[in-house]
């Protein structure tokens, strides 16, 4: 018998591998608007940077777009029924900014708000808590044309958009997160160019980091003033480890990568300042005059939860002549080591214990904010087969991945981490950004030709996890 950080009792069964999560632990699934909604031109929706990027030759595999995706915009009642059948307590979804303000500012499109109104009501009527993410990468193209996240105007516009969504949904939505993975928005979008808007401009990436954080803070202030109950942000922190922890140069490489990936976000959010070593690094690329003294008070507006998206660890080594990573500007001389051992279809290393170590590190370095795993999952190319009772999708590798990471999360709770919930990525197979429809993360299989849904074995396994609020003995 143990007690978690929030004071709830949990049990383990020694020798069996069975365990239970704290009472009230939130079990959910997550999606994102552009990845599932489709209906790209319906009901006044304006173009986003992903509409533009996906139509740019060579940017997305096979030229795939999110025009149809999973057609969730029209099929959401059936998708919510699927969620209810799985026993989900909560559903994390994002609102498409271009549906609400087609040009990013100005008049609100009532038909766009009406869709989310219907979705929230359907979730509520099914006993499922909606968790709204206000920004999951689909910036209105009109704002990008005026500078995108390199511009302070975008941060200010984001707060206005957040208010508009809250004004319509705030009476039924308790939990709000502002941004999803601003690291991806800034570095993949503006430095590496692998995501929309596809720019390769490190100074712009660092400006985007700040304005994303500023937009978050302005939105938190506005939503708090409007009476929002629970506010947070979702980051994708890296669990960064040295190839040789006894090698001082490798340890220094970890420090640099950690600064660019983690501390550049955590510190302004939770400490009200940027780390000095990170600012010195950024100054190699651009003057930091875009950071106004009053901004850090805004970025550190108090939050009620911190979302953690996690998939795979990062190992680095100091290597003379190494190219570094375009996603971490200024890391020349650092080798990002290729994965070893088992990997997912993304080529990502599978090492669940690193999730435990990451959660413990966040709780130790930034105490006082409850954590939620807002994404965790794996891509595997499994498809339907004919079983004794009809078609099924066997995906034992995904079950093994999820089971391992949930055990790591439970171990973190036992060590004192205040972890309140877990959202599997993803409910549905969907549009996987620059990889199009080639990678399947869903626990529900989607036939993109017919739009038929079929819960995979992992969905049925997850349903059992939710029912018992815990895990049975590990799969063999």
Catalytic residues: 181, 375
- Cβ distance 432 to 426 under 8 Å? no
Of 409, 240, 416, give the one whose Cα is nearest residue 308.
409
- Name the burial class of residue 32, with classes exposed (0-12), middle (13-18) and buried (19+) by CB atoms within 10 angstroms of its CB: buried
Of 5, 37, 25, 123, give the one whose Cα is nearest residue 423.
25
Six token digits for residue 14: 């020694």
Polymer length in residues for the chain:
476
* Strands 90-94 vs 129-135: parallel, antiparallel or unpaired: parallel
Rounded to whole angstroms, what are the CA distances from 128 to 26, 96, 294?
11, 20, 39
Residues 6 or more apart whose Cβ sits within 8 Å of residue 142: 46, 102, 103, 104, 105
d(CA 411, CA 356): 7
d(CA 282, CA 260): 9
Three-class DSSP category at 473: coil
d(CA 21, CA 26): 10
- Terminal alpha carbon distance of the chain: 26
Sign of CA dihedral 53, 309, 40, 443: positive
Instruction: Using the structure block, give the residue that is written with the tokens 């600012």.
Output: 279
């Amino acid at each position: 018998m143990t007690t978690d950080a929030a004071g709830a009792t949990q049990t383990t069964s020694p020798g069996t591998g069975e365990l239970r999560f704290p009472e009230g632990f939130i079990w959910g699934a997550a999606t994102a608007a552009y990845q599932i909604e489709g209906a790209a031109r319906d009901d006044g929706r304006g173009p986003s940077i992903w509409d533009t990027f996906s139509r740019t030759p060579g940017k997305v595999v096979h030229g795939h777009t999110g025009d149809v995706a999973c057609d969730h915009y029209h099929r959401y009642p059936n998708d919510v029924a699927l969620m209810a059948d799985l026993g989900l307590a909560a559903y994390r979804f994002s609102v498409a900014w271009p549906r609400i303000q087609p040009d990013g500012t100005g008049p609100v499109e009532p038909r766009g708000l009406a869709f989310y109104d219907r979705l929230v009501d359907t979730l509520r009527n099914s006993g499922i808590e909606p968790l709204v993410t206000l920004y999951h990468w689909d910036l209105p193209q009109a704002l990008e044309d005026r500078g995108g996240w390199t511009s302070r105007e975008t941060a200010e516009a984001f707060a206005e958009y957040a208010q508009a969504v809250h004004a319509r949904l705030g009476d039924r939505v308790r939990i709000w997160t502002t941004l999803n993975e601003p690291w991806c928005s800034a570095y993949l979008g503006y430095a590496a160019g692998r995501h929309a808007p596809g720019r390769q401009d490190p100074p712009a990436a660092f400006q985007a980091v700040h304005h994303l954080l500023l937009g978050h803070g302005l939105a938190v202030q506005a939503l708090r003033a409007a009476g929002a109950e629970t506010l947070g942000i979702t980051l994708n922190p890296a669990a960064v480890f040295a190839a040789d922890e006894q090698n001082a140069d490798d340890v220094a490489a970890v420090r640099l990568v950690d600064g660019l990936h983690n501390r550049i976000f955590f510190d302004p959010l939770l400490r009200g300042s940027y780390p000095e070593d990170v600012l010195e690094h950024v100054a190699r690329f651009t003057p930091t005059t875009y950071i106004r003294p009053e901004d850090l008070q805004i970025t550190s507006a108090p939050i009620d939860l911190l979302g953690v998206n996690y998939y795979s660890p990062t190992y680095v080594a100091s290597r003379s002549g190494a190219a570094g990573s375009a996603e971490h500007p200024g890391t020349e001389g650092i080798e990002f080591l290729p994965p070893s051992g088992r990997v997912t279809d993304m080529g990502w290393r599978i090492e669940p214990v690193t999730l435990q170590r990451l959660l413990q590190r966040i709780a130790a370095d930034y105490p006082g904010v409850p954590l939620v795993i807002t994404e965790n999952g794996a891509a595997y190319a499994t498809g339907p087969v004919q079983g004794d009772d009809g078609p099924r999708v066997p995906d034992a590798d995904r079950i093994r991945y999820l089971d391992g990471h949930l055990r790591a999360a439970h171990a973190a709770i036992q060590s004192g981490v205040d972890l309140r919930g877990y959202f599997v990525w993803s409910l549905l197979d969907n549009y996987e950004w620059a990889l199009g429809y080639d990678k399947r993360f869903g626990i529900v299989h989607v036939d993109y030709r017919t739009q038929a849904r079929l819960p995979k074995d992992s969905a049925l396994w997850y349903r059992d996890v939710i029912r018992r609020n815990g895990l049975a003995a590990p799969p063999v």
